Amino acid sequence: MLRIGKIKIKYPYFPSPLAGLTDFPFRKLLDSIGYVGALFTEMVSTEGLIRKNLQTLKMLESFSSPTPKFVQLFGNNPHSFAESVKYINDNTSFDGIDLNAGCPVKKVVNKGAGSFLLKDTENLKKIVKSIRKNTEKAFTVKIRLGFKKVNISETIKIIESEGADGIIVHFRTKKDGYSVPARWEFAEKIKELTNLPVIGNGDIFNIETAKERLKKVDGIMLGRGIVINPSFFKELKTGKREKDYIILERFIRLMEDFYPEEKWLPRLKAFLRYFSKGKGISKKIKRELFLSKDYEFVRNESLQIFSELD
């Protein structure tokens, strides 16, 4: 059993925080399927949180279940992190905090956040220290191998010395983006560098790869792969998977319950762009779905397609 801080993790399998995808309905979907070690929110802005932005606060909505739940925070101001953590402590039931120090998206990096912290290591140190000082919750940091060059030894030393409980490593640099294969050859070196649990992320799309990666790290994290196949962890653990039609039907119900009607169409399309991959659906049919402005058509047509595939 994996332990992160005070939390005992039953399964070493984690879905990656993904903006616009790992929202409340999707997290609840994964929880209903099971075999998830912990759930992570989308990236939550510390500035939005301390200003009580309504959209940001909605991202912190959660639900009751035994699965540990983490808030992933991003920003560049240690004081804002301190205030955000205090708010989470006092107003939510989340079990842990995850610091995003790996996002390569330009608008995040330009604000000195995400993977920018991998080269601004003085500020990374201040932020990790600020978070640890203000919460006893489990605390992880998600990083990449470096910004332009690999400096994982330096960042891990900072993260561990300032009191984090675990490290999540995407095995690419910021410069790599997603254009080169994840460099899992660094896993062994990273395990030698730290006593903290190491969760590995990057290019895990099938069960065989997942099993191999688990030999190198303490846990694995899936991004796009878990949206393509939300029952991936169940399949990894039991050899069985949920029917895609049942998953889609459940996701739609959860999404409609959570969002106002005007959000349904873009959110369903965002889900389907990944969920439809590798399922044998023709480009023509996908084009019809993604160009449609009629929610009922997209909803009913996609359910019909997946009922026939199952």
- What tens digit of pLDDT does each residue of 115-144 get? 999 999 999 999 999 999 999 999 999 999
pLDDT digits (tens, 9 = 90+) for 166-225: 999 999 999 987 878 999 999 999 999 999 999 999 999 999 999 999 999 999 999 999
273 is catalytic: no
Given this model, what pLDDT does residue 140 score? 98
Given this model, what pLDDT does residue 178 score? 80
Catalytic residue among 36, 44, 103, 210: 103
Residues 143 and 104: their CA atoms lie apart, in Å, by 10
> Per-residue pLDDT averaged across 31-43, rounded?
97
Q: What percent of the chain has pLDDT over 90?
A: 97
Residues 70 and 81: their CA atoms lie apart, in Å, by 15
> Per-residue pLDDT averaged across 75-79, rounded?
97
Q: Please determine, for residue 261, whether its predicted confidence score (pLDDT) is greater than 90.
A: yes
Residues 154 and 143: their CA atoms lie apart, in Å, by 12
Which residue, 222, 164, 157, is CA-closest to 197?
Answer: 164
Which residue, 190, 275, 289, is CA-closest to 227?
Answer: 275
Q: Are strands 138-146 and 166-173 parallel, antiparallel or unpaired?
A: parallel
Residues 104 and 223: their CA atoms lie apart, in Å, by 14
Given this model, what pLDDT does residue 309 score? 87
> Per-residue pLDDT averaged across 255-284, rounded?
96
CATH topology for 2-238 is: TIM Barrel (3.20.20)
Distance of CA 60 to the CA centre of its chain: 14
- Spell out the domain ranges in the chain: 2-238, 244-309
Kindly write down the DSSP assignment for every residue of 33-99, as one continuous string.
H---S-EEEEEEEHHHHHTT-HHHHHTT-----SS-EEEEEE-S-HHHHHHHHHHHHHH----EEEE
Q: Please determine, for residue 310, whether its predicted confidence score (pLDDT) is greater than 80.
A: no
* Mean pLDDT estimate for the chain: 95
Given this model, what pLDDT does residue 177 score? 78
Residues 155 and 143: their CA atoms lie apart, in Å, by 8
Q: Please determine, for residue 163, whether its predicted confidence score (pLDDT) is greater than 80.
A: yes
* 220 bridge partner residues: 13, 200
Residues 160 and 180: their CA atoms lie apart, in Å, by 28
pLDDT band at 79 (very low <50, low <70, confident <90, very high): very high
